[in-house]
Structure 1
Amino acid sequence: MTALVSYRYESPVATLTLNNGKVNALSPAVIEALNQALDQAEKDKAIVVITGQPGILSGGYDLKVMMSGPQQAIDLVTLGSRLSRRLLSHPCPVIVACNGHAVAKGAFLLLSADYRIGVEGAFNIGLNEVAIGMTMHQAGIEIAHDRLTRPAFQRAVIGAEMFSPQAAVDAGFLDETVAPEDLESAVHKAALRLSKLNMPAHGKTKIKARAPLLAALDEAIALDAKYFGQA
């Protein structure tokens, strides 16, 4: 799509690769590029794979944008929450291939996907918002509450605990971990399995199963746009 997000389609899989510096910061431009890539994936009726660079999926929102002003922060968080909602309701399966660290919004990408594969190693996965002085936004609370185990939700959201890849499986951030050299084959295996689904049935079932979460997200996104940063 752009230099920030590459798009490679090899039927039935569309691979979206983040490429925005050493931490793959999620800026408005990156989120726009991801949305453009998702538009194309829908046209191609493809299974979506989102991935990053070796060692990093994403370190979260672009801090330069977040620190540039209250409205800029609100706008970026809103864009990110809408992206999560879109991924959670995408008509075809969404896989995230986590190449390493996934922090803050990077971890929320994991929580917004249907299947998550991480690599083993000394990597951190989690939500550090409270640790860096940010009150967790309501949309983030809703997503984490739905996708994480109850104990992990408390530790991750309120305590800003970082998890190793294996601990992230137990917490609910990941579905499996593999050796770095096995990530590509694991993604291929997962995509092959998911490609055998009836896609209309998959999409409609996803919407029905996640209807409470999607409704809560709609409300949360509106609340965050109004009150984010005031707490």
Structure 2
Amino acid sequence: MTQLVEYNCAENVATITLNNGKVNAFSHEMIDQLNAALDSALVDEAVVVIKGQPGMFSAGYDLSVMQQSMDAAMKLVEKGSTLTRRMLAFEYPIIAACTGHAIAKGAFVLLASDYRIGIQGTFKIGLNEVAIGMTMHQAGLELARGRLAPVFFNRSVILAEMVSVDDAVTAGFLDVAVTPEAFEQTVAATAQAMTKLNMKAHRQTKLKARAGLLDALDKAIDVDRGSSL
């Protein structure tokens, strides 16, 4: 099986690097391997960093699957929604190191992470589903509603507005944007700082704070399972 996700753990930080072609597409295989990497992070009791490739975090779902049939598309979307739901409730902090463009599912992975660090540059971040002819799935609506700044919800979800890295901080896709020179150091320092948290308190507080969103996602995934995009 092709390795689409690289896993490395050192000093209580598990770095998961996505590596599926030039757009880092989320396929069934990459989602399976990302889930396996998260399983390894649980064993290692590690803070998680999810990274993309230089210039590209992810451009979304694998179009070869999405264009096969409605049934194939919905099965991949369900698997992706289940992944982001898992991330929102994960036992250890998850940092998204956004290495470039983050579009559609790539942007949803940012929204599902606890802390998001972007790299400044001419990159675009956002939810382009409506622009490419896809009705937004219910789980996507709930995740965006729960994590985006309210003023950007309509612009991002209904109007498919793509934003710059700096505007992504205002919108709620990112928490901070740093220069390319400071990116790796910022990611490493942030991850190490999070290793100092009391992880039991972190998880219990996360579950309390996100109880409404997690419940909404559970219901939304069920709705999507019986619908078509």
| Match runs of 1:168-207 below 5 Å | 168-207=168-207
Work out the CA distance in 1 between the residues paired with 2:122 and 2:64: 27
Deviations 1:175-225 (A, max 9, x none): 001112221100111112211110011011101110000000000000001
Question: 8 Å contact 1:57–1:99 — kept in the other structure?
Answer: yes
Does residue 1:28 correspond to 2:14, yes or no? no
Residues 132-177 of structure 1 deviation map (CA, whole Å, 9 limit, x = unaligned): 0000000000000010011111100001000000000000000001
CA RMSD of aligned residues (A): 1.0
The aligned residue for residue 104 of structure 1 is 104
Give the structure 2 partner of residue 123 of structure 1: 123
**Cα deviation code 1:66-112 (max 9, x no counterpart):** 00111110100000000000000000000000000000000000000
* Matches for 1:1-231 after TM superposition, within 5 Å: 3-229=3-229
SS class of match (1:48): strand
Provide the rounded CA distance (Å) in 2 between the counterparts of 1:213 and 1:81: 13
Q: Which runs of 5+ in 2 are unaligned?
A: none
CA distance in 1, matches of 2:56, 2:13: 21
* AA partner of residue 78 (structure 1): E
Structure 1: runs of 5+ lacking an equivalent? none
Matched residue SS, 1:187: helix
Q: Residues 88 and 114 of structure 1 are in contact (CA less than 8 Å); yes or no, is this contact kept in structure 2?
A: yes
Deviation at 1:12, TM superposition (A): 1.0
Aligned equivalents of 2:164 and 2:12: distance in 1?
31
Q: Normalising by structure 1, what TM-score?
A: 0.98
Q: Retained in 2: the 8 A contact 1:2–1:33?
A: no
Partner SS state of residue 8, structure 1: strand
Q: How many residues align?
A: 229
Could you say what secondary structure the match of 1:76 adopts?
Answer: helix
Q: CA deviation at 1:2?
A: 5.9
Q: What code does the residue aligned with 1:186 have?
A: T
**SS of residue in 2 equivalent to 1:42:** helix
Instruction: Judge which range, 89-98 or 179-188, deviates more.
Output: 179-188
Q: Tell me how far 1:228 sits from its aligned partner.
A: 2.7
User: TM-score, normalising length from structure 2?
Assistant: 0.98
Q: Work out the CA distance in 1 between the residues paired with 2:45 and 2:2.
A: 20
Give the whole-Å Cα distance in 2 for the aligned partners of 1:42 and 1:2. 23
Question: 1:50 aligns to what SS in structure 2?
Answer: strand
Structure 2: how far apart are the matches of 1:181 and 1:4? 26
**Which residue type is aligned with residue 31 of structure 2?**
I
